[in-house]
Copies of this chain bind each other. A is one copy, B any other.
Amino acid sequence: MVNRTRFDDSDCPVARSVDAIGDWWSLLIVRDAFDGSRRFGEFQRSLGVAKNILTARLRSLVAGGVLETVPASDGSAYREYVLTPKGESLFPVIVALRQWGERNFFAPGEPHSELVDRQRGSRLRALEVRSEDGRLLSPDDTIVHKVAAGADPSGA
């Protein structure tokens, strides 16, 4: 995208996350990394994206600390892309998008990919937004407030 608006100085964590991920291609690259893609060619085949776009997005995800490159697992000269711990912590974002898509964009009986529990082969529980003491929260049960400079963001 030309002249992309940046959100990296926003005080909103949603906006900074959006800025750090970059664009939808980047998010789908992250999805593929969770699904086991490691090599440029694997991402390229899965996404059908132009090589120059994929190159730029991979570079940006590495620069942002979401992916890192490692030597190929088979000892060849290839580099492979793997999720960093920061990238791995995007798992709930991908799962949330997946569950919203499953619920809203597939007709009954339509073929689709599904994320399942490897041990049991069964579908995952729907993500739940809960309070610190465990109550299930709807959007109306929550409110955004500003945390001023100097407050500890860990809430500790």
Contact = CB atoms under 8 A, between A and B. Distances in A.
Contact of A115 (B24, B115, B144): B144
Nearest to A150: B109
Number of identical monomers bound together in the oligomeric complex: 2
Interface string A120-135: 1011111111111111
A63 interface: no
B113 A13 contact: yes
Interface string A135-156: 1011111111111111111110
Contacts of A12: 31, 98, 101, 112-113
A105 B16 contact: yes
A102 B134 CA distance: 20
A142 B117 contact: yes
A89 B127 CA distance: 11
Interface of A: 1, 5, 7-8, 11-18, 20, 23-24, 27-28, 31, 34-35, 49, 83, 86, 88-106, 108-120, 122-135, 137-155
